[in-house]
């Protein structure tokens, strides 16, 4: 288990590939510090509820403002954190920050449904439901305003413990959503065993929807089957008006993507919430 560290030391100055390795070593080292030193922040990407466009829904997405390296995307540092045991530190920060924001928005009069991403490791932490429950109680935020996005591979690692954790979260009224559905080993059969309420169809299927394409068949049947299992469906990665029109026609419940909005820094998201809700079409350019 020392191999990565060792490899980093001996190969660092050798080639372009090793510059990438050097960066990884630095990120892994700095990750633990990030949460304590105010280098993390959440951006908020609005989701549009197609049945009730006045509802405010968003996904919190983690950003790392590194003092030397600048803004680092979660696609780069989350996998490193997952492999090196610092993901739970990050998750704890994300959940605390999200709940704190929910409380703040409540004082401003906004009831936001906030989705947060949690990792495989979090699903093995049997203390998680109690800790989140305390946090919610402390900030006087109902669990029902919080959604945790999980991936099915997260559940597969240790289904017994993961299901126990998921049921514990449900007891706190937290909603559960399956992220990136359609990639990996996900299947609707497995979904039936999980206490989830929502499914997010992966953006790979959504980005370029045509009425007659193979993606269209997958998306349509996923929406229909989800509804018959009592799940709501979110399509992520909606970039084109054409995709939105099709999703609406196929009764998709919510959409998320650059067409509706990019992920926004907190002030910009608060401005977005204060848009005139009487003109929902102003959301979609
Ligand atoms: P995800 O949870 O599937 O989040 C959606 C990603 O797609 C986000 O990337 C978002 O900015 C991007 N996206 C949204 N709409 C569009 C679109 O229309 N087109 C395109 N091309 N992309 C779109 P981001 O913020 O870079 O996050 C990447 C992944 O990192 C997330 O995928 C999630 O798996 C992970 N992640 C982000 N924040 C956290 C966190 O707080 N905790 C954990 N464990 N993972 C996180
Ligand atoms: Mg997500
Ligand atoms: Mg996703
Ligand atoms: Mg993803």
pLDDT digits over 267-284, tens only? 999 999 988 764 444 444
Distance CA 129, CA 127 (A): 6
Give, using CA atoms, the residue closest to atom 8 of ligand 1.
Answer: 61
Distance CA 211, CA 216 (A): 6
| Substitution site in 61, 76, 207 for ligand 1 pocket (most atoms within 8 Å of beta carbon) | 61
pLDDT digits over 143-188, tens only? 999 999 998 888 888 889 999 999 999 999 999 999 999 886 666 7
Q: Is the CB of 70 under 6 A from ligand 1?
A: no
pLDDT digits over 29-85, tens only? 999 899 888 999 999 999 999 999 999 999 999 999 999 999 999 999 999 999 998
> What pLDDT was estimated at residue 251?
98
Distance CA 57, CA 54 (A): 9
Mean pLDDT for 210-218 is 88
pLDDT digits over 235-257, tens only? 999 999 999 999 999 999 999 99
> Is 0.90 topped by the overall pTM?
yes
> What pLDDT was estimated at residue 1?
43
Q: Ligand 4: distance of its center to the CA of 109 in Å? A: 31
Q: Provide the 10 A C-beta neighbour count for residue 6.
A: 9
| Substitution site in 74, 89, 154, 240 for ligand 1 pocket (most atoms within 8 Å of beta carbon) | 74
Measure CA 133 to chain center.
Answer: 19
What sign for the dihedral angle of Cα 125, 127, 132, 138?
A: negative
Atom of ligand 1 nearest to the CA of 151: 34
**ipTM for the whole complex:** 0.98
Ligand at minimal distance from the CA of 237 is: 1
Distances (CA, A) of 182 to 129, 159, 200: 27, 19, 9
């Amino acid at each position: 288990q020392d191999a990565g560290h060792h490899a980093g030391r001996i190969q660092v100055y050798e080639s372009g590939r090793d510059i990438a390795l050097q960066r990884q070593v630095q990120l892994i080292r700095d990750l633990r510090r990030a949460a304590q030193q105010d280098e993390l922040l959440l951006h908020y990407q609005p989701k549009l509820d197609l049945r009730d466009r006045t509802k405010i829904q968003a996904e919190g997405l983690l950003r790392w403002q590194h003092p030397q390296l600048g803004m680092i995307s979660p696609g780069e540092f989350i996998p490193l954190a997952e492999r090196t045991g610092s993901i739970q530190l990050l998750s704890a920060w994300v959940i605390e920050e999200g709940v704190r924001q929910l409380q703040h928005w409540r004082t401003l009069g906004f009831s936001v449904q906030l989705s947060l991403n949690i990792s495989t490791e979090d699903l093995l932490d049997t203390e998680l439901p109690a800790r989140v429950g305390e946090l919610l109680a402390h900030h006087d935020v109902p669990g029902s305003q919080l959604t945790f996005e999980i991936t099915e591979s997260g559940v597969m690692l240790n289904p017994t413990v993961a299901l126990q954790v998921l049921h514990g979260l449900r007891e706190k009224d937290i909603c559960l959503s399956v992220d990136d559905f359609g990639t990996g080993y996900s299947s609707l059969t497995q979904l039936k065993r999980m206490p989830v309420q929502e499914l997010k169809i992966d953006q790979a299927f959504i980005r370029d929807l045509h009425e007659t394409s193979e993606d269209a068949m997958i998306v349509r049947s996923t929406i229909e089957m989800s509804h018959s299992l009592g799940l709501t469906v979110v399509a992520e990665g909606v970039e084109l008006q054409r995709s939105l029109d099709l999703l609406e026609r196929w009764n998709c419940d919510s959409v998320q993507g650059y067409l509706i909005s990019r992920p926004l820094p907190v002030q910009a998201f608060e401005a977005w919430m204060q848009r005139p809700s009487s003109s929902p079409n102003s959301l979609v350019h």
